[in-house]
Amino acid sequence: MALWFLYLLPLSYIGAEAAIFTLENRCKNTIWPGILSGSGKPLLMDGGLKLRPGRTININAPKGWSGRFWGRRFCSFDQSGKGMCVTGDCGGVLKCAGAGGAPPATLAEFTLDSPVDFYDVSLVDGYNMPISIIPVGGSGSCKPVKCLRDLNKYCPNGLQVKRQGRVVACNSACMAFNKPEYCCTGAYGSPQTCKPTSYSRVFKAMCPTAYSYAYDDPTSTFTCKEANYLIRFC
């Protein structure tokens, strides 16, 4: 299944005890990245931040960190950090602080130092914006993973999430219909019984290296050793 950072360090530095994640906003509008750490792993950036168009930020993760990044869109927060996002919301706060993003949301997922780094782009929780992962330095395969197509333009009718009449996100079939054959649960809870569906094939055709459903491992999980990572939104 899909796999489930201190400031201003240069991207070229590769420390023995850490990986540097550089978040870059290439979208036309401000986004609010969210960060969820794996169980028992340290919280990074209090789980959320604001990132204006054209800006980047470096985040240092400790050795062995795991977690996920996603982008939130169409957000509004007051001075106390309370508010909401139309897509990727994490409980109506700027700092997600251990809360995950509400689907649909495109995910960039990492498990570091196991003993290599595993990483992927996942559409298992749906899609809300383009994301790419580009390893910097490191050894091994270290292939970039990209989902750059605007899936909102190709989202099937039953999966569409709209705002003011415009599609702003695309649900996964599991989220939309909650059936075992789409969610890979129950009798469909194994790679042998849970296969691609017409909905996941739409995602796979647009983003061939991203997870399109839960057991999409062979073409969607990538590895690198002792790298830093550029996570590019849009």
What's the CA gap between 33 and 96, in Å, rounded? 10
Domains of the chain: 18-233 (2.60.110.10)
Kind and range of the H or E run holding 145: strand 145-147
Q: How confident is the model at residue 219 (pLDDT cuts 50, 70, 90)?
A: confident
Identify the pLDDT of residue 18.
Answer: 78
Specify the pLDDT at position 17: 59
Q: Is beta strand 228-233 parallel, antiparallel or unpaired with respect to 18-25?
A: parallel
Encode pLDDT of 139-170 as tens digits.
999 999 999 999 999 999 999 999 999 999 99
pTM: 0.90
pLDDT digits (tens, 9 = 90+) for 60-112: 999 999 999 999 999 999 999 999 999 999 999 999 999 999 999 999 999 99
Instruction: Pull the structure tokens for residue 104.
Output: 């649909």
